Amino acid sequence: MNVCVVGGLGYVGLVTSAGLAELGHTVAAVDVDQDRLARVGAGELPFHEPGLAELLARHLPAGRLRFTGSIADGLRDVRIVLVAVATPARPDGETDLAQVIAAAEALAAELVRPAIVAIKSTVPLGTHHVVRRVLDSHGRVEGRDYHLAAVPEFLREGHAVYDFLHPTRIVIGAADPAVRAEVRELFRGLDAPVLETSFEQALLIKYASNAFLAMRISFANELAGLCDATGVDVFGVIEGMGYDARIGHSYLAPGIGFGGPCLEKDLRSLIRIAEGAGYEPGLLRAVLEKNEHQVRQVARRALDELGGDLYARTVGVLGLAFKPGTSDVRNSLALRILDWLQRRGAAVRAHDPLANGEARQVLQGVTVCDDPYEAARGSHLVMLLNACEEFRRLDLARLRSIVAEPRIVDGVNVLDPGAARRAGFTYHGVGRR
């Protein structure tokens, strides 16, 4: 099929474009970001994602994938348009639909043949009404010039290419069964259940999935707090829980909480959706409050370790991306903690194996180092805020030899407490003994 992906150089858009090309489709990825277009044109990926470079190298020369800054160019001979633009959260928790509206306006102006407009961006309930009003206001007629559908994404950063090609489920929301059948053809060859639903049910599946994952993380952190208070090691408790098939082990890792571009944003958006429907989402609010509390708890542990005074103390921070395996620092809880430390007078040296470049663009007053040992050199406290494999393999004896004072706050439980203490460190994890 001929497919157009609007927002094709964003995280979801680029992975989706490359993945569809891998499935044999011919894809035009449209984006207004001229800098990203230039970078990709020069062979540079705009972000780190395992497997993505290989897909681009395979399908760009073959002509199955191309990039353009022109929506008119991208729509040539296209039947299905996927909208994968960013939908950031506003300060009040509402979802900012400006880019979705802009995409709809561009499509309304340039559609020259009937097309299915499928929303892949994570958007709140009722968004299809907004898109419909935009298209209709430009003289387009639903059912004649366009059809609307929702195709939510379930991609994990650091595993997005794998997740696209090995999905756990494919959700297609549309009122017309014939439209759902056409969209289903996009994903032929993928071994996954296909759920055909209404537009709004498809959106709610996405929001509910992320809210549930957030709830598991907050529960794990609540449990870790209880274990700290009672002298029990949380890892043993979680291991025992996880063998129950109804519970499982995934997303039960205590740490600094959930950050990044999705879980917190989607949870806040779901809370606003509930409020708008006249429902009080008490549990969802508690999940969010626990997450905010967890960030404060880990940050305050640094203050406690240094006797209540961070002024002119050096803190070596290992981990800047919101999770391991990605270069993404958007809404990284590690960066929130760095800001908290700096505002109390600490000098911060930091390192991340993938995110140093992005971090340097947004951090001020932080010495970003290319090596974890250089980040820790001369520090009065080492904080681990990301569970990268590089940090699991730290040479603790070497680390002990270069720090000013041997203290570790492990906010993601990446180190073995016994090994850290044998190396001469005081060690504090999250619910660890």
Crossing angle, helix 98-110 and helix 127-137, to 10 degrees? 40
What sign results for the dihedral spanned by CA atoms 104, 106, 109, 112? negative
Residue partners of 176: CB distance under 8 A and separation at least 6: 147
Q: Which residues of 124-140 are buried (b: 16+ CB within 10 A; e: fewer)?
A: bbebbeebbebbeeeeb
At residue 351's C-alpha, the angle toward residues 296 and 340, to 5°, is: 25
Rounded CA separation 210/181 (Å): 26
Other beta carbons within 10 Å of 314: 20
The CA-to-CA distance between both ends of the chain, in Å, stands at: 56
26, containing H or E segment: strand 26-30
Is 282 buried (19+), middle (13-18) or exposed (0-12) by CB count in 10 A? Answer: exposed
Which residue's entry shows tokens 């492990």?
410
Active site residues: 262
Q: Provide the H-helix boundaries in 97-169.
A: 98-110, 127-137, 160-165
- Is 149 in contact with 180 (CB distance < 8 Å)? yes
What are the start-end ranges of the E strands in 127-229? 146-150, 170-173, 194-197
| Strands (DSSP E) found in 198-321 | 314-318
HSE, CB side, 13 Å, CA atoms: give it for residue 249. 7
Q: Which of 340, 323, 220 is nearest to 263 (CA)?
A: 323
| Nearest to 189, CA basis, from 162, 161, 167 | 167
The torsion region of residue 86 among left (phi > 0), alpha (psi -120 to 50) and beta comes to beta
